[in-house]
Amino acid sequence: MNTDSATPSAVQYLVAPGTAVETNGAGAAFALGALKARPLLLVLRIEDIIEQESLHVSIWGSADGKDWGTQALFWYPQKFYRGAAPAALDLRQRPEIQHLQARWELNRWGRGYPRPRFRFAVEIQELEVH
């Protein structure tokens, strides 16, 4: 029995687990390598959040790791709670994309601590399409 097709691909990260942020920002350029021009599974994992704030994460693509263009490849819906949000990103029609980057925007309203604070990660792995 061949179990290779059942073996999940290794999880890598656009944003490392435990990353804590209080301002808008961007992760490092992630070189796709063997994931280039493939369907991908991206998982946004929000590990910690305080009330009355939101996190908005986008995924950007680049051919050279420097020019990211003017439009994101994908936006997660705005998030307000802990949890995992999986998404599929199919790069088969975009072979020029060699790098990905996660960017985030934070928003805080209400009373208490004046700055937003999140701890989150963005996982990436090949999406097995059958």
Residue 98 lies in a domain: yes
In a domain, 8, yes or no: no
- Total domains in the chain come to 1
The structure tokens listed for 94 are: 């975009």
Q: Dump pLDDT digits (tens) for 8-28.
A: 568 999 999 999 999 999 999
- Residue 80 resides in a domain: yes
Q: Identify the CATH number of the domain in which residue 36 sits.
A: 2.60.120
Both structure tokens of 69: 């263009």
Who contacts 55 (Cβ-Cβ below 8 Å, separation ≥6)? Answer: 46, 49, 78, 79, 80, 104, 105, 106, 116, 118, 120
Tens-place pLDDT, residues 41-91 = 999 999 998 888 899 999 999 999 999 999 999 999 999 999 999 999 999
Contact 18, 45 (CB under 8 A): no
Look at residue 9 and tell me if it is in a domain.
Answer: no
The pTM of the whole model exceeds 0.95: no
